[in-house]
Amino acid sequence: MAYLPQELITKKRDGGALSGDEIAFLVGGMTNGAVTDAQISSFAMAVFFRGMEMDERVALTLAMRDSGDVLDWSHLDGPALDKHSTGGVGDNLSLMLAPIVAACGGYVPMISGRGLGHTGGTLDKMDSIPGYTTQPDNVLFRKVTEACGCAIIGQTASLAPADKRFYGIRDVTATVESIDLITASILSKKLAAGLDGLVLDVKSGSGAFMPTHEQSEALAESLVAVANGAGTKTSALLTDMNEVLGHAAGNAVEVATAVEFLIGQAQDPRVREITLALCADMLVLGGLADETDSMEKVAEALDSGRAADTFGEMVTLLGGPSDFVDSYRTHLPATPVTRDVPAPASGYVTTMDTRQIGLAVVALGGGRTNPADPIDHAVGLTHITDVGTKISKGDPLARVLARTEDQADEAIRRVTAAVTLGDKPASRSSIYRRLAPTGDA
Ligand code: URA
């Protein structure tokens, strides 16, 4: 049915609820060009101020999902499962989670994004591996997913194209910060992957995308309700981003820590707790385990080395070195400059401005200020101190891997300014809350 876009914008501007047909018309116009940039931005602003009811959010998500290809994995002998994180610093969980779930019988066709602002992107991390292709054609993507159970690749133009246009307009019209629109944007892309189950890792804290804990929680609730309303079994964890996850932030350095985690060489306890909790929820969503044995299954897949083997197989099938898991250090790029960040005083690490740590990595060249910028995969931070650690003046707060001495000086300044030292030990968190699937998706 045809409508006049301005009539629909008026209805939303005045606080009305749009029908599924009306929303589908607007989204169709975003994809075929029948709705102008001005109309899309007015619609976004109307939603920003008036909000959307649950039915409208579900309709918007489904219309955006269906604006391009929707993958189908129904021929596989196990469930298609995935995770989405709202983004953080040092958040390399996807690299461990995908092979763990694959080693438990799930299929993880993981379509990931690049870094956004201060947060890192899974795709940029995987691009650190020489030869690994993050943009395979559909045939190779399917072949790898079927052969080893997981494939971590990049967004293609044919998935949720309406979101690409809509997000580009929101980005320049001050309308990104709408939970209704963020929900539809994130889920349209994830649900286009044709999943049987989805877990969400919604971050809260100084390095999170949402500015307050309450808003992170509201986003988690909206994502879970809408994804289940759209027919995909979905749960979420609300997790801490008041400090870097693990001890490294950058691209190649996070691939290295992921391999070390998978082979059992170094496992940060918070990273292990959150990763296994997300994996366990994925098994339950996919019917591969129940609440009583899911944790045991994922821990066995990791601790037996099966997940590490799966990761190695995925890397090889997507063009990377066949000995990557054994020889990752020789394959990953390195920097000429390594400098420690000396603590300016003695005391406990009480707070970390995680966003500023992420921006220190961006300033080193490890992230982008413009979407088209190239990045330096080798630079980053390692040995980042945990919140709560007692240190003496001059002890390292972190290690900087830089291309030049000037960049290292700048990163040292930024990291020093981002960490607060005090005289009392600070408490730390990992998982704040679990949100179970709603309804009967
Ligand atoms: N990430 C997305 O994919 N979409 C948004 O709207 C915000 C963050």
pLDDT in tens, 244-258: 999 999 999 999 999
Angle, vertex CA 282, rays to CA 278 and CA 284, nearest 5:
120
Catalytic-role residue among 65, 84, 114, 331: 84
**pLDDT top residue among 43 and 158:** 43
Beta strands in 37-149 (DSSP E): 81-85, 108-112
Q: What is the pLDDT of residue 115?
A: 82
Name the DSSP class of 13.
H
Q: How confident is the model at residue 440 (pLDDT cuts 50, 70, 90)?
A: low
pLDDT in tens, 154-166: 988 889 999 999 9
Q: What is the pLDDT of residue 369?
A: 83
Question: Is 336-422 a CATH 3.40.50.2000 domain?
Answer: no
224 lines ligand 1 (CB under 6 A): no
Q: Mean pLDDT score of the chain, rounded to an integer?
A: 96
Q: What is the mean pLDDT of residues 106-124?
A: 91
* Rounded distance from Cα 83 to ligand 1 centre (Å): 15
267 lines ligand 1 (CB under 6 A): no
Helical packing angle, 20-32 and 161-171, nearest 10°: 80
Catalytic-role residue among 12, 118, 189, 399: 189
Instruction: Give the residue, out of 60, 179, 186, with the most ligand 1 atoms within 8 A of its beta carbon, to mutate for a pocket test.
Output: 186
Q: What is the pLDDT of residue 117?
A: 84
* Half-sphere CA count of 82, side-chain side, radius 13 A: 25
Active site residue 42: no
**CATH 3.90.1170.30 in the chain, residue ranges:** 336-422
Q: What is the mean pLDDT of residues 5-24?
A: 98
Is the pTM of the predicted complex or chain greater than 0.95?
A: yes
Place of tokens 């029908």: 19
**CATH 3.40.1030.10 in the chain, residue ranges:** 81-328+431-435
Q: What is the mean pLDDT of residues 233-242?
A: 98
Question: Is 5-51 a CATH 3.30.413.10 domain?
Answer: no
81-328+431-435: which CATH number, 3.90.110.10, 3.90.1150.10, 3.40.1030.10, 3.40.220.10? 3.40.1030.10
pLDDT in tens, 61-96: 999 999 999 999 999 999 999 999 999 999 999 999
How would you classify the pairing of strands 396-402 and 337-342?
antiparallel
208 lines ligand 1 (CB under 6 A): no
The pair of structure tokens assigned to 404 is: 């030049």
Instruction: Say if residue 1's pLDDT is above 90.
Output: no
**pLDDT top residue among 171 and 279:** 279
Grouping H, G, I as helix, E, B as strand and the rest as coil, residue 88 is: coil
Instruction: For 299-318, give the secondary structure using H, E and C.
Output: HHHHHCCHHHHHHHHHHHHC
What is the distance of C-alpha 170 from the center of its chain? 20
Catalytic-role residue among 164, 190, 203, 247: 190
Q: What is the mean pLDDT of residues 269-297?
A: 98
119 lines ligand 1 (CB under 6 A): no
pLDDT in tens, 179-229: 999 999 999 999 999 999 999 999 999 999 999 999 999 999 999 999 999
Q: Residue 359 in contact with residue 369, Cβ under 8 Å? A: no
- Would you give the end-to-end CA distance of the chain in angstroms? 28
